[in-house]
């Protein structure tokens, strides 16, 4: 199969049934000009942002008052304002649906399974809304949650949003300092946490961590302890200002929900950068921008409709959780999973997909790679006939894993590799259900997103690697960073490289099919001899090798230049000898280019990664150069960094 042969092409029936096709017809009517396909639609969506986003509002059924104006200061980044007169409530838009149908299905490893109807979800949100009011929560207050991905987390977020409070969450596996580094900056009034959680079959109690966090967050009026292990009341008894959620909710009966409609750019979420240089940046996202962007991505790019069964494997500390939540606005049932995706074995998520008739299967590139390397072939063992889309994000999906999805998981499926970030709580490039899928390529830019690739001089380039940029303002740009009164940190993060242009920090390349390849973070891009190399190109080669479980690659400052250093975690029983080093170098030289061949290859026992599963090239680079790592709490396994200190192999 050549790169110019699609892995998958949508059938005429699929194209006709896609919501995107109906939207193209609506756009042609509204614009009064022919719009024949996705590419023409994208061009119009960027040229006439006011008309495009107005159509998304109407077509997506947004509840609220739109107002007279669509875009103010549209030529400014930052500074543009979408729907400046509008008033809406995020939770009201996610809870439009009612009735006995399933809103949420939850599995917590093999320990817990629960289902909530739309009416039951609304009732729980109503009771939480009343509880929050009783604690004096008002618009603009922060509610922080260190929670598993479970129904109470969804309901608490919706209750917070219904009042105009700002929601911020992380997963319960964060350490005490990691929680404080995030929530300590935003001074929440309520803190929500579980009595514990399950991971890989282990029962993990977090009461001591909650007590320690509460002792250092004086802004918190109350901690609400959610029952997961069956120990919430006992746990709460030992924590200052804490009460079991079930006890706290007891006085409140479900009542009609009240939604406070607020400006389009009222704050909704605070998310956190996962960088390892200093404490995390607190990124504030708007209710209107998040809602509109997600409706567009879900309905048009993901093809999600009322009644779909929508899954993304994510924790509450990753933006994909926020992205998943908005699926309720399209009437989809959210399929939640909490715990290890490999407990009791690698079939657990595929079992879930089969049992629940999952239609959208969202996961990470790392998961797909792990399934392939484990030898599992769900195509032979599971009925995945309901799955229409398999989506991958978190890191670039390697070409061999594109092929594996079709060979080993499902033959007729829309594989949507997507890429964006916490910074925009959404995507720059993602799936297009009416276009073919090619090996290694993300299908296209998001509608309404003026995505491009610039060289170092700020010139657009095609077929060359460069900086991923967005040249026009869009609704889900952050409102601000918390505690950044003059906006200096915000501007420095995205607009310092190119004036009035969003520079995302990804190293990208347009393909001849109009798709995109992400080559890794540009600030972790290798630059030996002045030639820029994306680390993903190296991973794509070495991770095909059975001897290598995973790898991490950095540039080491050496002799006035940069040399490429590749660290590999080897399969059991494999040793890094001269023969294997030669095999690795040959694989990279022939599969990528001679410039990609590492100067040093070093075997390591572990590779550090963030809570959302991303390998941390910058942290490893800092360690080998003797620089301090200021924010180890961003890592799930910070002890792994010690494996990279003062290595003899890197001294000559």
pLDDT in tens, 409-448: 999 999 999 999 999 999 999 999 999 999 999 999 999 9
Model confidence at 274, in pLDDT bands (50, 70, 90)?
Answer: low
Structure tokens, 640: 């792994």
CATH of 108-260, one of 3.20.20.110, 2.30.130.40, 3.40.50.2300, 3.40.50.980: 3.40.50.980
The pLDDT, as a whole number, for residue 316 is: 95
Return residue ranges of the chain for CATH 3.40.50.12780: 12-89+264-519
Cα–Cα distance measured from residue 301 to residue 362, given in angstroms and rounded to the nearest whole number: 13
Q: Count Cβ neighbours within 10 Å for each residue of 211-238 and write b for 16 or more, e otherwise.
A: bbbbeebeebebbbbbbbbebbeebbee
Mean pLDDT, residues 289-306 taken together: 98
What is the sign, positive or negative, of the torsion defined by CA atoms of 215, 216, 222, 223? negative
Q: Which of 217-226, 394-403, 634-643 has the highest mean pLDDT?
A: 217-226
Question: N- to C-terminal Cα distance for the chain?
Answer: 42
Cα–Cα distance measured from residue 614 to residue 634, given in angstroms and rounded to the nearest whole number: 11
User: Each residue of 29-82: pLDDT tens digit?
Assistant: 999 999 999 999 999 999 999 999 999 999 999 999 999 999 999 999 999 999
Nearest partner of 391 among 308, 471, 465, 513, judged by Cα: 308
Mean pLDDT, residues 260-267 taken together: 98
Model confidence at 532, in pLDDT bands (50, 70, 90)?
Answer: low
User: Each residue of 143-178: pLDDT tens digit?
Assistant: 999 999 999 999 999 999 999 999 999 999 888 888
Nearest partner of 252 among 130, 335, 361, judged by Cα: 130
Phi, psi of 626 (to 5 degrees): 75, 20
Q: Answer yes or no: are the C-beta atoms of 347 and 382 closer than 8 Å.
A: yes
Return residue ranges of the chain for CATH 3.30.300.30: 525-650
Strand arrangement of the beta sheet that strand 282-286 belongs to: 242-244, 222-226, 190-194, 142-146, 166-170, 267-272, 282-286, 480-481
Half-sphere exposure of 485 (CA within 13 A, CB side): 0
Phi, psi of 371 (to 5 degrees): -65, -45
Coil vs helix vs strand at 588:
helix
Query: Picking from 185-189, 311-315, 554-558, which range would have the lowest pLDDT averaged per residue?
Result: 554-558
Is CATH 3.40.50.12780 the right assignment for the domain spanning 12-89+264-519?
Answer: yes
The pLDDT, as a whole number, for residue 276 is: 39
Structure tokens, 154: 């969804």
Mean pLDDT, residues 476-498 taken together: 95
Residue 123 has pLDDT above 70, yes or no: yes
* Cα torsion through 625, 631, 637, 639, rounded to 10: 50
Cα–Cα distance measured from residue 442 to residue 617, given in angstroms and rounded to the nearest whole number: 23
Cα–Cα distance measured from residue 440 to residue 417, given in angstroms and rounded to the nearest whole number: 9
Structure tokens, 565: 């250093």
User: Each residue of 203-216: pLDDT tens digit?
Assistant: 999 999 999 999 99
Structure tokens, 98: 């009612």
User: Each residue of 95-114: pLDDT tens digit?
Assistant: 999 999 999 999 999 889 99
Residue 323 has pLDDT above 90, yes or no: yes
Pairing of strands 222-226, 190-194: parallel
Q: Answer yes or no: are the C-beta atoms of 255 and 126 closer than 8 Å.
A: yes
pTM: 0.89
Question: How many distinct helices (H) and strands (E) make up the chain?
Answer: 21, 32
Structure tokens, 438: 């090619």
Domain spanning 525-650: CATH superfamily: ANL, C-terminal domain (3.30.300.30)
User: Each residue of 569-597: pLDDT tens digit?
Assistant: 999 999 999 999 999 999 988 777 777 89
Question: What percentage of residues in the chain have a pLDDT greater than 90?
Answer: 84
What DSSP state is assigned to residue 147?
-
Is the previous residue joined to 344 through a cis bond, with omega within 30 degrees of 0?
A: yes
Return residue ranges of the chain for CATH 3.40.50.980: 108-260
Cα–Cα distance measured from residue 601 to residue 581, given in angstroms and rounded to the nearest whole number: 7
């Amino acid at each position: 199969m050549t790169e110019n042969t699609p892995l998958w092409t949508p059938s005429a029936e699929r194209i006709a049934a896609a919501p995107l096709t109906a939207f193209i017809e609506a756009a042609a009517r509204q614009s009064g000009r022919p719009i024949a396909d996705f590419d023409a639609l994208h061009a119009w969506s960027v040229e006439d942002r006011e008309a495009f986003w107005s159509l998304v509002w109407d077509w997506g059924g947004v509840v609220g008052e739109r107002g007279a104006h669509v875009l103010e200061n549209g030529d400014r980044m930052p500074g543009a304002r979408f729907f400046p007169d509008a008033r809406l409530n995020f939770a009201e838009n996610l809870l439009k649906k009612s009735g006995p149908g399933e809103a949420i299905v939850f599995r917590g490893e093999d320990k817990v399974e629960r289902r909530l109807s739309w009416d039951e979800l609304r009732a729980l949100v109503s009771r939480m809304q009343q509880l929050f009011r009783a604690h004096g929560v008002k618009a603009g207050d922060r509610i922080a949650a260190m929670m598993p991905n479970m129904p109470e987390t969804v309901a608490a977020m919706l209750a917070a949003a219904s009042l105009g409070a700002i929601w911020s969450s992380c997963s319960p596996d964060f350490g005490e300092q990691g929680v404080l580094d995030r929530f300590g900056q935003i001074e929440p009034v309520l803190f929500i946490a579980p009595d514990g959680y399950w991971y890989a079959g282990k029962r993990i109690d977090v009461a001591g961590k909650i007590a320690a966090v509460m002792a250092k967050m004086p802004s918190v009026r109350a901690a609400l302890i959610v029952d997961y292990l069956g120990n919430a009341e006992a746990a709460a008894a030992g924590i200052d200002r804490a009460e079991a959620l079930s006890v706290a909710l007891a006085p409140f009966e479900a009542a009609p929900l009240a939604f406070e409609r607020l400006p389009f750019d009222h704050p909704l979420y605070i998310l956190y950068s996962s960088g390892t240089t200093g404490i995390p940046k607190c990124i504030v996202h708007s209710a209107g921008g998040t809602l509109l962007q997600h409706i567009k991505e879900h309905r048009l790019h993901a093809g999600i409709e009322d009644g779909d069964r929508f899954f993304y494997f994510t924790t509450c500390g990753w933006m994909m959780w926020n992205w998943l939540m908005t699926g309720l606005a399209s009437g989809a049932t959210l399929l939640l999973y909490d715990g290890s995706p490999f407990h009791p074995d690698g079939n657990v998520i595929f079992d879930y997909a089969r049992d629940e008739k999952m239609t959208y299967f969202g996961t990470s590139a790392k998961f797909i790679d792990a399934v392939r390397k484990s030898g599992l072939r769900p195509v032979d063992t599971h009925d995945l006939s309901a799955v229409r889309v398999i989506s991958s994000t978190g890191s670039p999906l390697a070409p061999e894993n594109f092929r594996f999805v079709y060979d080993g998981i499902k033959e007729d499926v829309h594989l949507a590799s997507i890429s964006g970030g916490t910074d925009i709580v959404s995507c720059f490039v993602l799936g297009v259900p009416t276009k073919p899928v090619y090996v290694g390529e993300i299908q296209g830019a998001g509608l309404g997103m003026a995505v491009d690739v610039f060289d170092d001089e700020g010139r657009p380039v095609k077929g060359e690697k460069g900086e991923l940029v967005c040249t026009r303002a869009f609704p889900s740009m952050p409102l601000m960073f918390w505690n950044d009164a003059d906006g200096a940190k915000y501007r420095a993060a995205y607009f310092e490289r190119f004036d009035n242009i969003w520079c995302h920090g990804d190293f990208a390349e347009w393909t001849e099919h109009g798709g995109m390849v992400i080559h890794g973070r540009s600030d972790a891009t290798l630059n030996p001899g002045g030639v820029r190399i994306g680390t993903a190109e190296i991973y794509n080669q070495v991770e095909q090798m059975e001897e290598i479980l995973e790898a991490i690659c950095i540039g080491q400052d050496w002799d006035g230049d940069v040399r490429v250093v590749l660290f590999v975690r080897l399969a059991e029983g494999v040793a890094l000898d001269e023969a294997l080093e030669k095999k690795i170098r040959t694989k990279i030289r022939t599969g990528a280019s001679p410039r990609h061949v590492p100067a040093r290859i070093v075997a390591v026992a572990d590779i550090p990664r963030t809570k959302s599963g991303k390998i941390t090239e910058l942290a490893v680079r800092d360690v080998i150069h003797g620089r301090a790592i200021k924010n180890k709490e961003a890592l799930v396994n910070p002890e792994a960094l010690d494996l990279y200190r003062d290595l003899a192999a890197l001294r000559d």
